[in-house]
Amino acid sequence: MADDPEIQAAIRESGFPKPSFTGYEVLAVRSAAEGAKALARRIADEIWTQGKLGVIDEVIADDFIGESPTDGEFRGPDGFRQLVERYHSAFSNVEMRIDNLVAEGNTVAAHWTARGTHTGELMGIAPTGREVTVEGVQFDRVHNGKIVESHGLFDALGMLQQLGAVPAGTPAHA
């Protein structure tokens, strides 16, 4: 189609600059939503599961603002790094799996499941050696290829119950 003389003439007459790419290059360019999904996968796989803290500087913007139900607000790559280090020092064998991933434009929503063994202190709770499984959701906004805003929710009560810090069956409002 691009080689059609009538299309070529229409492009020249439109006043648009001559394209400087080929068709296959257009197909290789990801949408903003696909880029956001790739960042969410990298965070789960490389940072949380593999513990590659250096990746944080590649995916988290300097002006990043994050929010978590147990940690409140944290800022920048260093704030995110401290969050990851806190949980990695409390849980060994951390594994985070993305169960569902949805993105539109520059926003990505991830439903995830994380597992680990409680081998270090967490929120004043001594190591229990218990295996813990927690589900959560994360909503991230991406700008210029990095995450600039993140809001996370996870089953903190369920985590505390699994650790034995809160009796099972305790209502959420307790």
Residue 3: is its pLDDT beyond 80? no
Hey, what are 153's tokens? 């929710």
* Greater model confidence, 62 or 18: 62
- Whether the model pTM is above 0.75: yes
Q: Where does the pLDDT of residue 31 fall: very low under 50, low under 70, confident under 90, or very high at 90 and above? A: confident
List the domains of the chain with CATH numbers: 31-163 (3.10.450.50)
Q: Above pLDDT 70, what percent of the chain?
A: 86
Q: How far apart are CA 51 and CA 135, in angstroms?
A: 19
Output the pLDDT for position 28: 45
Hey, what are 112's tokens? 């995830």
Q: In the 8-state DSSP scheme, what is residue 163?
A: H
Q: In what order do the strands lie in the sheet with 107-118?
A: 72-75, 60-68, 146-154, 131-143, 107-118, 91-104
Q: Where does the pLDDT of residue 91 fall: very low under 50, low under 70, confident under 90, or very high at 90 and above? A: very high
What value does the mean pLDDT take over residues 93-111?
96
